[in-house]
Amino acid sequence: MPVETGRLRDSIHAETVEESDQRLVMQVAPCYEAANEYGFDPPYARRIEYGFMGTDKLGRQYHQAAQPYVRPAWDTQQQPAAQTIKEGVYNALDDAMASVAARRT
């Protein structure tokens, strides 16, 4: 990702969407919810990922090419992420089985 101030890079974070005894849903988000007109901060996050053509609210004309940073990361890390999740599930199952076995003896 191109970096000028680091604000966009620093806004990328993981957050829990749902958590219960049976389920944990997390997401990686490129921005935070905000009470501004865009609904997220930094407000230019979408513009960098997808580009922007047209006139902004200040009347400036743009033909800004996309500089994707979320999608390429997803594409390259999808398999390693799936493997990490699988290993976590297997480890949790191993721990649960060891706990049950320990209580039986």
pLDDT tens digits for 20-62? 988 888 888 888 888 888 888 898 888 889 999 999 889 999 9
Is residue 28 within 8 Å of residue 16, measured between CB atoms? no
Reference 67, options 98, 44, 90, 84; nearest CA is 44
- In this structure, the answer to whether residues 12 and 59 fall within a common structural domain is yes
- In this structure, the answer to whether residues 10 and 27 fall within a common structural domain is yes
> How many separate domains does the chain show?
2
Q: What are phi and psi of 31, to 5 degrees?
A: -160, 170
- Which amino acid belongs to residue 48? I
- In this structure, the answer to whether residues 14 and 51 fall within a common structural domain is yes
pLDDT at 43: 86
- In this structure, the answer to whether residues 102 and 82 fall within a common structural domain is yes
Domain assignment of residue 30, given as a range = 1-68
pLDDT at 1: 60
- In this structure, the answer to whether residues 3 and 46 fall within a common structural domain is yes
- In this structure, the answer to whether residues 50 and 101 fall within a common structural domain is no
